[in-house]
Amino acid sequence: EAGVAQSPRYKIIEKRQSVAFWCNPISGHATLYWYQQILGQGPKLLIQFQNNGVVDDSQLPKDRFSAERLKGVDSTLKIQPAKLEDSAVYLCASSLRGSPPDRDTEAFFGQGTRLTVV
């Protein structure tokens, strides 16, 4: 079974530039997550999709971040314009479903995109 695919693996941009990340979840997984993980911290949920609808985006800085999941499969996360504090690893994860909680809510993670804003 193929895992969660993310690209690119690494990205370096200047502040105020824009950047986009792509995620392809495991086939059949209805729930997709985007997390921001700053070095030394736990992953912080940015947005959670159930199929192509948004379940939670309360921690997404909507003035500069946007995300979409067209057709309930692939997803893109965009930052425009980037700030220095956006430097982090952006993790995409998917699960069969998001709730109610049981083993089917286990999240499978991609390898992440390491973003450096200079």
Partner 1 sequence: AQKITQTQPGMFVQEKEAVTLDCTYDTSDPSYGLFWYKQPSSGEMIFLIYQGSYDQQNATEGRYSLNFQKARKSANLVISASQLGDSAMYFCASPCRQLTFGSGTQLTVLP
Binding site for partner 1 (CB under 8 A): 33, 35, 41-45, 48, 55-56, 89, 91, 93, 95, 98-103, 105-109, 111-112, 114
In the chain, % helix, strand, coil (3-state, to 5) comes to 10, 45, 45
Q: How far is the CB of 111 from partner 1 (least distance, A)?
A: 6
CA distance 25 to 10: 19
Strand segments, DSSP code E, in 39-102 are 44-50, 53-56, 65-68, 75-79, 88-95
Contact 92, 23 (CB under 8 A): yes
Name the residue nearer to partner 1 (CB basis): 28 or 42. Answer: 42
CB of 81 to partner 1, least distance (A): 26
Nearer to partner 1, 18 or 105 (CB): 105
Q: How far is the CB of 39 from partner 1 (least distance, A)?
A: 11
Give me 26's structure tokens. 């495991």
| CB closer to partner 1, 14 vs 49 | 49
Nearer to partner 1, 19 or 36 (CB): 36
